[in-house]
Structure 1
Amino acid sequence: MQACLRLAIYAPLVAAMMALVMHDAHHFGDVGFGESSWTEHMQSTLLALSAAAMWAVHSRLPDLRTVSLLLFGLFAASLIREQDALLDERIGDGSWQILVSLVAIPVLISVWRNRARFVAEFEHFGRSFAFGLFGAGFLATYVFSRLYGRTEFWETLMGSAYLRSVKNAAEEVTELFGYTLMAIAAIEIILLAIRMGRQRRAKLRELGALR
């Protein structure tokens, strides 16, 4: 029953993402799938919401404190990377790399220092529905979309009719779907952390009663 409820909630979210993609398709010759498209804006929005969700888990739900911190670093770094064109224009060429380092290095150091706790948390996270969604989104965004968006593939597929804009559209839409899956995973991580906290408190009460 819970699985059906999840599908009923999440399916419209995916459909909404595709509605925005269709909007950009209708304006393909104008805005298309460039930096000012709805597809690009939603990628940034989903990353920002996912990063905020993971920071909330890190700050308020201690049962997944280190896992959520690592995921916060991933989402925040990806959000900065998505703004590379704007940052290059406003700050300087390659400035996004510096900003990503400022986020990623402290996160990685903190997770490494708490690696024993991270491993313990990951045992729970790795068996969860949230991890399955996150894994699928991660592979779709950071592996499949990069390979699917290779110029060589599209030149081979389209031959003399090759259009870079079509290649970009395919890659950006795939990225958006991956970010959507990871945003849904962020919701599931919040629910998982809440459940873990309740279970921990219940065990503590049970131990207190036995004493």
Structure 2
Amino acid sequence: MKTLCAALVLLSLVSVCQPASLACEKLVKPLDRDPDMTGRWYFIAMSSEVCLVSAFVNALLWPSVSMDVISKDTPNHYSEVTYGKMHGVCFNANTSFVYANSSLVEVNSDNTPAEDPDAMLQTSCPDCVVVKEEMNTLLLLSKRPAVTATELKEFEMQAECLGWSKPEILNTDHDYRSCASLEDIDEDEIIQVLQSFFQKMLERVTNTYHIISKCVNVWQMVSF
């Protein structure tokens, strides 16, 4: 009887673990389709191998980020403008990248790689991409400012399959006009802008300290 019970328990565990294992096997594979890279992409959520990275981004900076991608004359070559906003301060950056073999690599003006490539992973979301960066962060981007709970759950499972932190949701305020631009701030305004920035960041940390605290507790449990 004990042997039968043990066999039943083992069978039940296997039946539960197999679907999760198969799902993970699929979700961590490279993307098997070529997405339309052009257009505006919104950064939805991020995970990281070390949970403190994504926790600090969420609890301190809470950025909203999007990027506009334009195709160049050369196939699979793109230019992009990234827009970001943190506590009322905006910034933007221009880069170029190449898409090939389910990966993205930033390139210099002469099209030589500027860094190691970032891998693109599988996703069932039709207008999303999941990017596994060489910095050991996982990003979910979509052509919509927000995704469904099911799509977000799939991204959470991808992070879990990698053994990384639970994803943090980024800010959804994509109004990049009603903010102080780093490029346009003059010397007379810089002190005032910085004071406002750090005040809002302090307020954010006060309200979200539990995010960092939870991450530290998990890290301590794993370490010991």
Scaled by the length of structure 1, the TM-score of the pair is: 0.26
Identify, as 1 or 2, the structure richer in helix: 1
Identify, as 1 or 2, the structure richer in strand: 2
Scaled by the length of structure 2, the TM-score of the pair is: 0.25
